[in-house]
Chain A
């Protein structure tokens, strides 16, 4: 199965997954080139970030040196700022909860980095994602506990023909074992990156303030409302909330209360009991297909949040880039801004950005 020295550009974060990805490709006989993307700069105020910090770049460089392959640092800061960080801030302003990793995969890794691959005649592009490419279609990672296919629905379908995800067919502990076997002790036991790479210490409001200034509307005071409009308190910025959240809400109710809606127009955060959190339908936009688009009336498996279980759904409407689904069972906390990903078993069909959940079961237009 050696690829006779075909060149592959590997996106290397300095973590164990992408390091092992590169190592496996070297073992398989590819001409491997490592690249670490520099995506943002905090002027050294975040020394311990798992991604994108100087230490991570150095770890990636050391791994490449150990593997005997070249390593480059690619500055994609301005494109990343535009495509990912600006959108992130805008989505919060619109009362949504964005997933920047999705846009990073779509625009930064599998578009901008692919362009870099073209400049060096690299036929292939590889990352350390836990997902698989099977016959030019995208499948879930074999280890469902680590599966990252949910974040990859947005990539250009044509890229699948040149994409390699070397760790997608193994578990995390297998990946660590490979790292040890290959002597990559620098990264073998490195902790997992959990947070969003450009968000300092897990506080996304800092990024919003940085980009929009201290007067950002999404960080200005507003009311807590019940769904009947009763004002039950005040909050200091709707960007601090997401659908389904319980933390930071006013108390004194008989039932546990959740955020059930965010209305940027009047900066309101709507709260309600669990029943109001359940949705039977949803619409999503910016649909992208990794296979030929399915038809209205087909039944698909859908996932509306990372790590959420899939549910069966009926496609009731499908316009060019918008979809409406009727869910077979109620789903909690359908959140605008999160991704809707459609599956057929293990295979990713496509996805989009959730526009809204619906409490009533949608019906197919006649």
Chain B
């Protein structure tokens, strides 16, 4: 088999060499616990503080506004549940989000509802964008927090975070955005966009899995999820993952420095992939093309096929993609995101997400485009025969 092709950068990315190099000393001589009072502790503490400052700088934030977490899911939970719990006595009982959020946000909102919050969802436009009048309608003076993802992880749609955050502020609600897929793709500046809480994750930008951060605007009180020591001002007790934080800081700096070049490069690859597929499979449907979108995702459905068979067939040809949201067992169910933006069940259950990134070359894109129509034909044929039986 020719060299396998990784087209799943929205799922995770390989750790960058620069990042690994930055981390290595903290698995060796610089192993100290940042809470210790001795030289080993001081050394680790210095590295952690620097990492925090560097991440803050990448987000236009101040270093006390950055809290390191185990990743995006924890950060989303701190943001939504932490804010909800801190505000639940205030009379603001509504928690608002969109139906296309990552499961981490949907799950946290659902938990808030179990704790007495009123769960409210915005309407979506079929372009994949939040319906602004619906947002303005459901985010009112009874709203504790509204959460809208900056870039969608399945279709790449970019939401107008500045407008949404401003509206939320105007009615006194907190605004959170899950920027996991946005970081490194769109410019994030806490000094100009008035979000209160923001989530980023390391492993989407070349840092290891298990590290992320939540931006919490200065002055905002968030109820911690964990209880224990006073690390990170008590917002996130537990000995900090110094090595990963240092790696994350390095990856964040690289991502911000390279952002524009990265965008252009991925956009070129994405357009080549998309054009190639549409030229060879004219009835293919690319989701989320109607509005602004990040450059790394092609989410495509072909009538008469199904995601599960396509993923399997692609994988057996050495091409790694993903579909919908994988459940715990690894089986595939139709995407809640596509259903929410009005994609028919038939197309939603045929969707394949291809995401380009650091490992993607033009030659790889060309080979996918070449292999793809034959796989489509095979799956279509088998499904048609099965339906006729």
Q: Is the CB of A115 within 8 A of B382?
A: yes
Residue of A nearest to B383 (CB): A115
Residue of B nearest to A53 (CB): B329
Q: Given that A33-B316, A38-B329, A73-B331 are contacting pairs, would A119 and B389 also be in contact in the complex, using a CB cutoff of 8 Å?
A: no
Asked if B328 CB lies within 8 Å of chain A CBs, one says: yes
Asked if A236 CB lies within 8 Å of chain B CBs, one says: no
Which residues of the partner chain A approach B330 to less than 8 Å between Cβ atoms? Answer: 57, 61, 72-73
Residue of B nearest to A116 (CB): B309
Residue of A nearest to B306 (CB): A119
Asked if B43 CB lies within 8 Å of chain A CBs, one says: no
B-side interface residues, number (CB < 8 Å) = 21
A261 → chain B closest CB, angstroms: 36
Asked if B259 CB lies within 8 Å of chain A CBs, one says: no
Inter-chain CA distance A111–B386, complex, in Å, is 8
Which residues of the partner chain B approach A116 to less than 8 Å between Cβ atoms? Answer: 308-309, 312, 382
* Contact flags A92-127 to B (C-beta < 8 A → 1, else 0): 000000000000000000011001101111000000
Q: Is the CB of A120 within 8 A of B316?
A: yes
Asked if A245 CB lies within 8 Å of chain B CBs, one says: no
Inter-chain CA distance A54–B382, complex, in Å, is 28
* Contact flags B34-56 to A (C-beta < 8 A → 1, else 0): 00000000000000000000000
Asked if B364 CB lies within 8 Å of chain A CBs, one says: no
Q: Is the CB of A120 within 8 A of B312?
A: yes
Q: Is the CB of A112 within 8 A of B378?
A: no
Inter-chain CA distance A121–B309, complex, in Å, is 11
A46 → chain B closest CB, angstroms: 13
Asked if B379 CB lies within 8 Å of chain A CBs, one says: yes
Asked if A68 CB lies within 8 Å of chain B CBs, one says: no
Q: Given that A111-B389, A112-B386, A118-B382 are contacting pairs, would A54 and B316 also be in contact in the complex, using a CB cutoff of 8 Å?
A: no
Asked if A70 CB lies within 8 Å of chain B CBs, one says: yes
Which residues of the partner chain A approach B332 to less than 8 Å between Cβ atoms? Answer: 73, 75
Q: Is the CB of B308 within 8 A of A75?
A: yes
Asked if A220 CB lies within 8 Å of chain B CBs, one says: no
Inter-chain CA distance A72–B309, complex, in Å, is 10
Asked if B271 CB lies within 8 Å of chain A CBs, one says: no
Asked if A74 CB lies within 8 Å of chain B CBs, one says: yes
B126 → chain A closest CB, angstroms: 26
Q: Is the CB of A120 within 8 A of B313?
A: yes
Out of A36, A54, A111, A115, which one reaches B328, CB within 8 Å? A54
Residue of B nearest to A74 (CB): B308
Q: Is the CB of A119 within 8 A of B331?
A: no
Q: Given that A61-B330, A73-B329, A75-B333 are contacting pairs, would A118 and B316 also be in contact in the complex, using a CB cutoff of 8 Å?
A: no
Which residues of the partner chain B approach A112 to less than 8 Å between Cβ atoms? Answer: 386
Taking CB atoms and an 8 Å cut-off, the chain B residues in 297-356 that contact chain A are 308-309, 311-313, 315-316, 328-333
Inter-chain CA distance A125–B222, complex, in Å, is 56
B137 → chain A closest CB, angstroms: 34
Asked if B116 CB lies within 8 Å of chain A CBs, one says: no
* Contact flags B363-389 to A (C-beta < 8 A → 1, else 0): 000000000000000110111011001
B234 → chain A closest CB, angstroms: 34
Inter-chain CA distance A175–B188, complex, in Å, is 59
Which residues of the partner chain A approach B386 to less than 8 Å between Cβ atoms? Answer: 111-112, 115, 118
Q: Is the CB of A38 within 8 A of B331?
A: yes
Residue of A nearest to B311 (CB): A72
Inter-chain CA distance A119–B285, complex, in Å, is 21
B388 → chain A closest CB, angstroms: 11
Q: Is the CB of A118 within 8 A of B385?
A: yes
Q: Is the CB of B329 within 8 A of A119?
A: no
Q: Is the CB of B382 within 8 A of A119?
A: yes
Which residues of the partner chain A approach B328 to less than 8 Å between Cβ atoms? Answer: 54
Q: Is the CB of B385 within 8 A of A119?
A: no
A68 → chain B closest CB, angstroms: 14
Which residues of the partner chain B approach A111 to less than 8 Å between Cβ atoms? Answer: 386, 389
Q: Is the CB of B316 within 8 A of A70?
A: yes
B317 → chain A closest CB, angstroms: 9
Most buried by B among A75, A118, A119, A120: A119
Which residues of the partner chain B approach A57 to less than 8 Å between Cβ atoms? Answer: 329-330
Which residues of the partner chain B approach A75 to less than 8 Å between Cβ atoms? Answer: 308, 331-333
Which residues of the partner chain A approach B316 to less than 8 Å between Cβ atoms? Answer: 33, 70, 120
B329 → chain A closest CB, angstroms: 5
Which residues of the partner chain A approach B333 to less than 8 Å between Cβ atoms? Answer: 75
Q: Is the CB of B331 within 8 A of A118?
A: no
Residue of B nearest to A7 (CB): B316
Residue of A nearest to B386 (CB): A115
* Contact flags B116-152 to A (C-beta < 8 A → 1, else 0): 0000000000000000000000000000000000000
A41 → chain B closest CB, angstroms: 9
* Contact flags A180-196 to B (C-beta < 8 A → 1, else 0): 00000000000000000
Q: Given that A73-B330, A120-B316 are contacting pairs, would A115 and B385 also be in contact in the complex, using a CB cutoff of 8 Å?
A: yes
Taking CB atoms and an 8 Å cut-off, the chain A residues in 161-198 that contact chain B are none
Inter-chain CA distance A36–B332, complex, in Å, is 12
Which residues of the partner chain B approach A36 to less than 8 Å between Cβ atoms? Answer: 329
Which residues of the partner chain B approach A120 to less than 8 Å between Cβ atoms? Answer: 309, 312-313, 316, 378
Inter-chain CA distance A120–B328, complex, in Å, is 24
A121 → chain B closest CB, angstroms: 7
Inter-chain CA distance A270–B166, complex, in Å, is 74
Q: Given that A54-B329, A73-B329 are contacting pairs, would A118 and B381 also be in contact in the complex, using a CB cutoff of 8 Å?
A: yes
Q: Given that A33-B316, A74-B308 are contacting pairs, would A118 and B329 also be in contact in the complex, using a CB cutoff of 8 Å?
A: no
Inter-chain CA distance A120–B379, complex, in Å, is 8
B371 → chain A closest CB, angstroms: 13
A151 → chain B closest CB, angstroms: 20
A154 → chain B closest CB, angstroms: 14
Which residues of the partner chain B approach A72 to less than 8 Å between Cβ atoms? Answer: 308, 311-312, 315, 330
Q: Given that A73-B329, A75-B333 are contacting pairs, would A119 and B383 also be in contact in the complex, using a CB cutoff of 8 Å?
A: yes
A33-B316, A72-B311 given; name 15 further pairs at CB < 8 Å: A36-B329, A38-B331, A57-B329, A72-B308, A72-B312, A73-B330, A73-B331, A75-B331, A115-B382, A115-B385, A116-B308, A116-B309, A118-B378, A119-B309, A119-B383
CB-defined A-B contacts under 8 Å, sample of 15? A33-B312, A70-B315, A70-B316, A72-B308, A73-B332, A75-B308, A75-B333, A111-B389, A112-B386, A115-B383, A116-B309, A118-B382, A120-B309, A120-B312, A120-B316
Q: Which are the 9 A-B pairs with shortest beta-carbon distances?
A: A118-B382, A115-B386, A75-B331, A73-B330, A119-B309, A73-B331, A38-B331, A119-B382, A119-B379
